[in-house]
Amino acid sequence: MSKISSILSKIGHSYQLIFRVLAFLVALFLVVWQMPRTVKFKYEYQKMRPWQYESLYAPFNFPIYKTAEQLKMEEEASLKDFYPIFVFDANISKNNKIAMLQDFENQWYGSDEDKAANKIVLEKIYDTIENKGIITNISTIELKPESMIDVVRDRVVKTKAFRDFYTMKTATEFVSDYLANLDAGVDKSLINKLLLAYLNQNVIYSEDLTKQSEEQALAAISLTFGMVQKDELIISEGELITDEKYNIINSLRKEYDAMNSDSSFFNRNFNLYGQIVIVSLVFFFLFIAIKLMRPELLKESRSINMILVMMLLMILPSFIIIKHVPDMIFLMPVTILAMLLVTFFDARVAIYIQTLTLFVISLAVPNSYQYFVIQFFVSLVAIFVLANKTSRSKYFFTSAIVFMAYIVLKVGMALIFDAGLENVSWNDIGVFAMNALFTMLSLPLVFLFERLFGFVTDMTLLELSNTNTPLLRRLASEAPGTFQHVMQVADLCEEALFAIGGNMLLARTGAMYHDIGKIKNPLYFTENQSSKYNMHEDMSYQESAYIIIQHVIDGIEICRKYHVPEQIIDFVRTHHGTRRTEYFYQMAVRESIDGYVDETDFRYHGPIPFTKETAVLMMADSVEAASRSLADKTEESINKLVDGIIDKQIADKQFDNANLTFRDITTIKKVFKKKLKNIYHVRIAYPV
């Protein structure tokens, strides 16, 4: 039982480490699971450039495929003698003739002798036109009088000219001319009316037969010509890749692509094992890089989780595009990852993680070298442009720069590898434009990740530090003395962190909110009292200490009501640590009968500062507040004040959890002394 409890105890103490390892394993599983299982062609080559590898021999028999230009020429030649197909429908003529003769019988009112003569004329004209055929007009095909067509009549196909048939217009003209030459014994009006009513198009275009015939003609075209036998030399080392050699190597590459769908289970397993090894190394180097560059990120699960989620958001959709539409891989805006990383972390972290992410994607991309080079340099451009992010508008500017960088790099790669711009199309520019447009999603994603993982970006800090925000305006109007105090403390924090290194903007913003709880009872704090009357005179020392201590709790509640981020609230809860309200405690001890006072009534609830920024705020807050009570503000008194307050905080173990060195503390003291002397215009005491 003792061993089991010991194991459970160790697991309980290292649960955060276990969750971080699990996060890496889940990311590894998702990447390998979605990665395309391809037998990847291992050579990179370009036309009219030397073959950079050892001599290439055919690993197996494979056909030589025709180029796209050759296939296009053969298709054009095949379709040149191809004619649209029409069907002669005799049933239309037959049925219409029966109906026309019946109508003639109904409308005739003359003698039987004239009736027979007119009927003969009517049938003769009708048969002449319908037997020759009236062709349909087709809007989808442009047919000229000399155009040739294939006509199916009685299951026999004959090629004829379009002019060999009547149209409705020419048929009507024929009827008029024919009747005009007849004698007066014929009822021309009735015959003309009946013919116009019952003549109909009987040579009808067949789209299905035409399409079927066209497909058969194209299917007859062979996609290959010639064969390369196994072990036959394809190209020698250093040999120039001519058009012919380029086509043969492309044919070999197509065979490798075809093997992806036919590869055996054994080969697929080896492919999977290789992917597991490579992707595992990528995540291992990711861990090592973070440990070396930003070790503090490994202490927070949210940082690791956010980095992994960002990477997966770029890798997994890229794999889906590669599987289904590999030609559109540049539509995936992987630059968003670089923009997000430089927003939440720094340029070094962004460059390293972006490089590893592009490496993973490149394992599955068809032309991996060009893809990696273009995406890597575009990502660098985005990182450098966005490194000093000061406003949200800069994200839109970055998107425009990304678009231009894509075009420049595409042109450069085309000039290097293709010796021309033939392969740069408007379609490429359109894809890059859509990619740049998608990068604008980085702005809402920044907001989303801030909320999901509890991070604060510099843009948010700049917005919070604006003195026109509702909460700071309320502090300025309801507690003006406190407002002046926090502004002075913010300046002290900024200068100190500039000297020792740290997040100056975070510390300045935190300093501006650290005393926000005083707006609940502003007159209980000295800096807001304008009269000689002190409200603590009518209260016990315990009650006064309670109100003073309570401003920390009130500040936390007010900040949460106004949706202030937790990183800023940390400054509120830690700026007094676990120190005592010294004045009220000493007064209570002095006036107690036996000299005993419950110290817990006079101590802040903590916690103590746990970052460099919160520790500097505690020092600056105490030093600035105490400096106001100095009767004689001289160089000596300020030096003594700063040293005494900070040394006492050190003795009280308030900075045990903060990553401060003795050198940092010495530097902070110097900065505070210099700033306070400047604030109070203290002259340096020169030796007499």
149-190 pLDDT, tens digit each = 888 888 888 888 888 898 888 888 888 888 888 777 788 888
Query: How would DSSP label each residue in 341-380?
Result: HHHHS-HHHHHHHHHHHHHHHHTT-TTHHHHHHHHHHHHH
- Residue, of 137 and 543, whose pLDDT is higher: 543
Give the span between the Cα atoms of 576 and 584, in whole angstroms: 15
Average pLDDT, the chain: 85
| pTM (global) more than 0.85 | no
pLDDT digits (tens, 9 = 90+) for 302-316: 889 999 999 999 999
Give the span between the Cα atoms of 375 and 316, in whole angstroms: 16
N-term to C-term CA, the chain: 79
CB atoms within 10 A of CB 451: 11
Confidence label for 90 from pLDDT (cuts 50, 70 and 90): confident
Residue with tokens 């809860």: 573
Task: For residue 167, give Cα distances in angstroms to 99, 178, 212, 296.
Answer: 21, 16, 26, 85
pLDDT for 688: 47
In three-state secondary structure terms, 199 is: coil
Q: What is the mean pLDDT of residues 530-545?
A: 81
- Residue, of 682 and 73, whose pLDDT is higher: 73
Give the span between the Cα atoms of 511 and 505, in whole angstroms: 10
Give the span between the Cα atoms of 618 and 682, in whole angstroms: 24
Q: What is the mean pLDDT of residues 115-134?
A: 87
Tokens of 272: 């999977």
DSSP-derived secondary structure letter, 143: -
Confidence label for 386 from pLDDT (cuts 50, 70 and 90): confident
Task: For residue 346, give Cα distances in angstroms to 349, 382, 440, 531, 560.
Answer: 6, 13, 20, 50, 28
HSE on the CB side for 664, CA within 13 Å?
Answer: 19
**Burial class (CB within 10 angstroms; exposed 0-12, middle 13-18, buried 19+) of 432:** buried
CB 581 within 8 A of CB 571: no
Q: Which of 20-29, 139-148, 397-406, 413-422 has the lowest mean pLDDT?
A: 413-422
Give the span between the Cα atoms of 356 and 586, in whole angstroms: 60
Q: What is the mean pLDDT of residues 355-370?
A: 89
Tokens of 246: 């380029």
| 458-679 CATH | 1.10.3210
500: nearest Cα among 647, 619, 383, 645: 619
The set of residues, in sequence order, having a beta carbon less than 8 Å from that of 113 and lying 6+ positions away, is: none
Q: What is the dihedral of CA 239, 241, 244, 245, to 10 degrees?
A: 70
Query: How would DSSP label each residue in 423-486?
Result: T--HHHHHHHHHHHHHHTTHHHHHHHHHHHH----HHHHHHHT-TTSHHHHHHHHH-HHHHHHH
pLDDT digits (tens, 9 = 90+) for 329-344: 999 999 999 999 998 8
pLDDT for 265: 42
pLDDT for 496: 94
CB 253 within 8 A of CB 366: no
Confidence label for 267 from pLDDT (cuts 50, 70 and 90): low
**Span(s) in the chain for CATH 1.10.3210:** 458-679
Q: What is the mean pLDDT of residues 260-273?
A: 59
Q: At what angle do helices 188-198 and 90-107 cross, to 10 degrees?
A: 150
User: Residue 687: pLDDT above 60?
Assistant: no
Parallel/antiparallel/unpaired status of strands 224-228 and 62-65 = antiparallel
CB 96 within 8 A of CB 127: no
Give the span between the Cα atoms of 303 and 309, in whole angstroms: 10
Confidence label for 586 from pLDDT (cuts 50, 70 and 90): confident
Count each helix (H run) and each strand (E run) in the chain, helices first. Answer: 27, 8
Give the span between the Cα atoms of 115 and 109, in whole angstroms: 8
User: Residue 683: pLDDT above 80?
Assistant: no
